[in-house]
Structure 1
Amino acid sequence: MHCVRDFLMQSGLARVDAQVLLQHALGVSRSWLIAHDTDPLSTDQVRLIEACFQRRKAGEPVAYIVGEREFMGHVFKVSPDVLIPRPDTEVLVEAAIHALQGIQSDRKAFLDLGTGSGAIAVSVALACPEAKVVATDASPAALRVAQENAARLGARVEFYAGNWYHALLGSQQFDVIVSNPPYIASNDSHMVEGDLRFEPRQALTDETDGLQAIRHIVQDAHRWLKPGGTLWLEHGWDQAAAVRALLEQSDFNRVESRKDLAQIERISGGHL
């Protein structure tokens, strides 16, 4: 007879992965797993657990198997149509929130380009409910996920379909613009390793040198940023100097990079 302890000891998976998948398959909390680790499991429960474990052993990300990922203290729905939110990106959200909170205006406006799951836009909207929050994405499937996350978490976000700024209408301008664009070079070996094999390719790489989307966002930002506005971009571990140079070439001032939890320069930004 199988029990939770058997699966934890014999799964062949990292213990944290096995625990999360067990919680998902059984619909229980972590504390329940600990308290009931020797309870017998039904045939249907065993079958469901084994199916989840096999998907993980095949390399599928845990977040896609369970359909959600925590980010900035909120639980977001995820699917293979969107990137999995990562702790690295929290520094981008924190920079945006700090910039918005420093603005003395009752008409603050924030733009998230390429929103994916909506994790960035929704997190900012929840932290700064007084701000107008706009998010764009070229993928209709991604926008559906983002809209569901905003509705479920009670965040007020306006979503528009289209590629980068092309999704926007009229003459609106923003105090803060951020993006976590595709920044992996097309020939980077990481594209065929780990979780990246399962994530949407168009959200990972620009199919060139990894800086094409960033160049476009920086070069066109002047039209969409208010005077004194701020632009922050997430980028790869070795791209900070290149992104700072792009910002300076486009006449941004107070250009800087900030480090993520791993002490890697993860975002760069500047002000008009």
Structure 2
Amino acid sequence: MRIDDALAWANGELQASSSSDLDAKVLLCHVLDKPTSFLFAWPEHELDDTQKNTFIDYVKQRAKGKPVAYITGVRDFWTLTLKTSPVTLIPRPDTEVLVEQALLCASTFKSKTLDICDLGTGTGAIALALASELPTSHVLGVDFVADAVELATQNATLNRINNASFRQSNWFDSVGDAKFNLIVSNPPYVETNSPYLQQGDLRFEPDSALTSGEDGLEDIRNIIHLAPSFLVDAGALLFEHGFEQGQAVRNLFVQRGFSEVKTVQDYSGLDRVTLGYWKI
């Protein structure tokens, strides 16, 4: 089977998916351990039997709906390559907006040595992206799931990041009396009965990392209530949230006493990140 034949076959198998062409290329690049440019430069390249059988298996898994990131076990995020696992959410491009906003907040501090906390760190994507951009700061990532903490630690090693550490904790429960300049979180924010849970990749991702009560705001509400005890003066709290939750999250910030509260849109122009400062 040649590369061009393999891609044509895969597109036929994945025809129900709007991303079939991209999925096929990502899977084949992973099997060949080659960049996308190789597929275009060498369409006549023959797959050996092992590569062919592995690619067929991967495509059949994807045809059943399994996310590409769970099939390959990796996902690129920011400038990093991260291991993935079904125990955590798959890092998504829109979450990079949260990283961008956190870096803007970081730039407002005179000190170059900041303490940052990432709540519900999962793969460690947010924590590690911030740590890579702020090498003189320290980032603590916490997660309730022990396997997620182990995965994030592996991703720190994989990306040679030494200024991030990870700890098992139910939000702030195991943080002690630490104080942070920035607290960031991509918490569960999907409504428990949301129809989106039965669509696409969400069918395979852990509900515990997705849902948060009837309105999807249970965890955000809890974090906003607790966060001031763990922020320095003029410290910032930032969330990723659902595209219809911007106003509700802003209201929660204001009611708790945060200032300079604002919502930032993602790359599709939808509300995605809301932030506020404590005692500025």
Name the TM tier (shorter chain).
Answer: over 0.9
User: 1:231 aligns to what SS in structure 2?
Assistant: strand
Amino acid at match of 1:71: F
Q: Does 1:260 align with 2:269?
A: no
CA distance in 2, matches of 1:107, 1:97: 13
Match of 2:275 in 1: 269
Match of 1:4 in 2: 3
Query: Which contiguous aligned blocks of 4+ residues in structure 1 show a shift greater than 3 angstroms?
Result: none
Task: Map residues 10-21 of structure 1 onto 2, 5 A cutoff.
Answer: 10-11=9-10, 12=12, 13=14, 14-21=20-27
Amino acid at match of 1:101: S
CA distance in 1, matches of 2:54, 2:159: 28
User: 1:166 aligns to what SS in structure 2?
Assistant: coil
CA RMSD in angstroms, aligned pairs only: 1.2
Q: CA deviation at 1:102?
A: 1.9
Match of 1:203 in 2: 209
Match of 1:91 in 2: 97
The number of aligned residues is 270
Match of 2:17 in 1: none
CA distance in 1, matches of 2:227, 2:138: 18
Structure 1, unaligned runs of 5 or more: none
Q: Does 1:122 align with 2:121?
A: no
User: 2:150 aligns to what SS in structure 1?
Assistant: helix
Match of 1:239 in 2: 245
Match of 2:175 in 1: 168
User: 1:154 aligns to what SS in structure 2?
Assistant: coil
Q: Does 1:110 align with 2:109?
A: no
TM-score by length of 1: 0.96
Deviations 1:112-146 (A, max 9, x none): 00000000000000101111211100001111110
Q: Which moved more, 1:84-93 or 1:27-36?
A: 27-36
CA distance in 2, matches of 1:174, 1:133: 9
CA distance in 1, matches of 2:226, 2:51: 53
Match of 2:139 in 1: 133
Amino acid at match of 2:228: H
Match of 1:64 in 2: 70
Match of 1:248 in 2: 254
Structure 2, unaligned runs of 5 or more: 15-19
User: 2:172 aligns to what SS in structure 1?
Assistant: helix
- Partner residue of 1:177 out of 166, 177, 183: 183
Match of 1:47 in 2: 53
Match of 1:215 in 2: 221
CA distance in 2, matches of 1:175, 1:114: 17
CA distance in 1, matches of 2:213, 2:227: 22
Q: Does 1:157 align with 2:156?
A: no
CA distance in 2, matches of 1:233, 1:29: 34
Match of 1:193 in 2: 199
Match of 2:148 in 1: 142
Q: Which moved more, 1:155-164 or 1:254-263?
A: 155-164
Q: CA deviation at 1:247?
A: 0.3
